[in-house]
Chain A
């Protein structure tokens, strides 16, 4: 097992590469799900108050 993680002396390069990919996948997945949840909550709020001015021309606030 130690041999596996040592990657024949290239541990730093291999795990920095795979670690960065894993981190990006984790953060991006969570971010898009959070953004969808926020948008759905906002849409529900807008639907509950139909007399409010239409929010459809408001710019998006984040680009996660």
Chain B
């Protein structure tokens, strides 16, 4: 299979539509199953009561916020290195969803922190670095709107996205490097999870749902961006069915 076949908007536009539809359906099914696990199957927490149920959306949104930034940086690197316009459009499409995920991670964290730690907000290492992540996303979006020529905006945003990527490992390791308020990781790749199996299952299903949602929504946004930026090109006439 030739991967470069889908490197142009003309061939990727219809494929993105099919992937987005499949992921949207998967996201809906997984969310329904995940919420069932989260609210019906998983038991109350021994120390936190029902407040811990925020974990089922807090952890997936926080993971997605970090992961989407890395994906955005990856497409930015391709856009800078190979000057491929579709890579830049993908990076552009990911920024708003990443910003919303970062916002939700902070928001749900605040509403979890208040009953368990006694405060909505503290200048804790992880919380502060996640706030910086949100500002980086907003900075990338604002920078794009500040530059009229889309190709120049692509390069400027790619540089900012790549420089900002240094913040992602800082967030990830913040709970180890600085002993402030946020707890260490309960689930990691290197150790057995320190939580009940049904809680873990609910969290993982919700994480998969968040993945599918992010793919569906950012590919749909990417399709809009492709049409906006290539309006008048021959392929867009075919794509919207007027040729």
Contact = CB atoms under 8 A, between A and B. Distances in A.
Main secondary structure of the interface of A (DSSP, over half): helix
Interface size grouping (class) on chain B? 35 or more
Contacts of A58: 228, 231
Interface of A: 4, 7-10, 12-14, 16-18, 20-21, 24-25, 28-29, 32-33, 35-36, 38-40, 42-44, 46-48, 52, 54-61, 63-64
Contacts of A57: 149-150
A38 to B, nearest CB: 7
Given A10-B49, A24-B104, A35-B221, 7 more contacts: A13-B114, A17-B54, A28-B100, A32-B217, A32-B220, A44-B241, A60-B150
Interface in B196-228: 213, 217, 220-221, 223-225, 227-228
B51 A13 contact: yes
B227 A16 contact: no
Main secondary structure of the interface of B (DSSP, over half): helix
Contacts of B53: 7, 14
A26 B145 CA distance: 24
